Structure 1
Amino acid sequence: MAAKKILMLVGDYVEDYEVMVPFQALQMVGHTVHAVCPGKKKGDVIRTAIHDFEGDQTYSEKRGHNFGLNFDFDSVKSSDYDALLVPGGRSPEYLRLNERVLELVREFGRDDKPIAAVCHGPQLLAETGVLKGKSVSAYPACAPEVRLAGGEYVEIGMDEAHTDGKLVTGPAWPAHPAWLAAFLKVLGTQIIL
């Protein structure tokens, strides 16, 4: 297996599990992950939010941890990366307002590179045209945005993942085992036990 270089686009109040778990797990299997945020540099931190499912009509939200960035956003070129990962939480809703972020996502889509997004992550993808003609999972409240972006929203269990070509999506962090396994498959990563 050749190690891959993965770009992770994050911002303040990204979902805690959805940034920390893939960041650590993908490195654990040998990939390089650069977590970047517009306006921030390597060594800066972002705040995370913990979203939980406690029987309410929607998820609850609590303050999470500080997450350290390991690369400078201003140094990012999509051509340096094999894949893109977009966690959910609050950050996708405002990252999609940043033109440089949108340009990066469009470049990954144009170059047909693997993209993984979970929960609210497809909000960012929707703004770029990457979802057009694709079947996509997301947090259910993001279904209208998926459809408005020309995608087909796929309703699956909260612990399941969906793959359409090189696009891997899941509804929320309970899908991590299935979502990360599907992303590793798209990346060509083989784990031998």
Structure 2
Amino acid sequence: MAKKVLIVTGDAVEALEVYYPYYRLLEAGVEAVIASPTKKKLQTVIHDFVGWDTYTESKGYMLESHTSFAEVDPTDYDGLIIPGGRAPEYIRLDSNLQNIVAHFFEAEKPVGAICHAVLVLAALKNKAYFEGTTMTAYTACRPDVEGLGATYAEDTLHVEANLVSGHAWPDLPGFMREFLKLLESSK
């Protein structure tokens, strides 16, 4: 039976961080489902690192979500990917999402969190999943990683237990390679 991975996001998701994992999963024969607060067409954004002290943002492609968070049964999925961009700062407030994400850590299923995805993790009520671990995220999210009780890794890609964490979209090839390894070796 083919594996099934849930990608959770919303408007203002970084385009590369949702499209690359989605198509890479499909290429690998994995069923990929995109969930958002409501089932709708999402507006992606493009972040780049060109001359500013922070990233720039432009409108990206539109992307259909397949289902809403309220409709997701996390037990139906073998893995979870949380893309970055600005979407994590507001989707984390959805109590359905908090329950979904918690399931993957409780069941020790593969989780991929890239860039600002740590904002979703920071909203979980149980921080014990992260205490004493090491992970990475976009540099500006270091305080959020440390707020979880985790050590911030300077490396742009880090794998520990069932969590693959990445710094930003330039790290997607390694991020997806490591996530797929975890997915293939999971029950």
Cα distance in 1, alignment partners of residues 133 and 91 from structure 2: 21
Deviation by residue 1:22-78 (Cα, 9 ceiling, x = unmatched): 11111111001110111x22xx21001100011311111111111111234332111
* Structure holding more helix per residue: 2
Could you tell me which runs of 5 or more consecutive residues in structure 1 were left unpaired when the two chains were aligned. Answer: none
1:60-139 map, 5 Å = 60-128=56-124, 129=127, 130-139=129-138
Match of 1:186 among 176, 182, 185: 182
Would the aligned equivalents of 2:47 and 2:56 in 1 still touch at CA under 8 Å?
A: yes
Q: What residue in structure 2 maps to residue 146 of structure 1?
A: 145
Decide which moves more: 47-56 or 72-81.
72-81
Helix, strand or coil at the partner of 2:84: coil
The alpha-carbon deviation at position 89 of structure 1 amounts to 0.3
Q: CA RMSD in A?
A: 1.3
Cα distance in 1, alignment partners of residues 67 and 92 from structure 2: 20
Amino acid at match of 2:134: S
**TM-score of the superposition, structure 2-length normalised?**
0.93
Decide which moves more: 67-76 or 104-113.
67-76
Deviation by residue 1:142-174 (Cα, 9 ceiling, x = unmatched): 000110111111011xxx421001100110000
Could you tell me which runs of 5 or more consecutive residues in structure 2 were left unpaired when the two chains were aligned. Answer: none
Would the aligned equivalents of 1:161 and 1:182 in 2 still touch at CA under 8 Å?
A: no
The number of residue pairs the alignment matches comes to: 182
Amino acid at match of 2:176: L
Q: What residue in structure 2 maps to residue 30 of structure 1?
A: 29
**TM-score of the superposition, structure 1-length normalised?**
0.90
Helix, strand or coil at the partner of 1:33: strand
Cα distance in 1, alignment partners of residues 130 and 90 from structure 2: 18
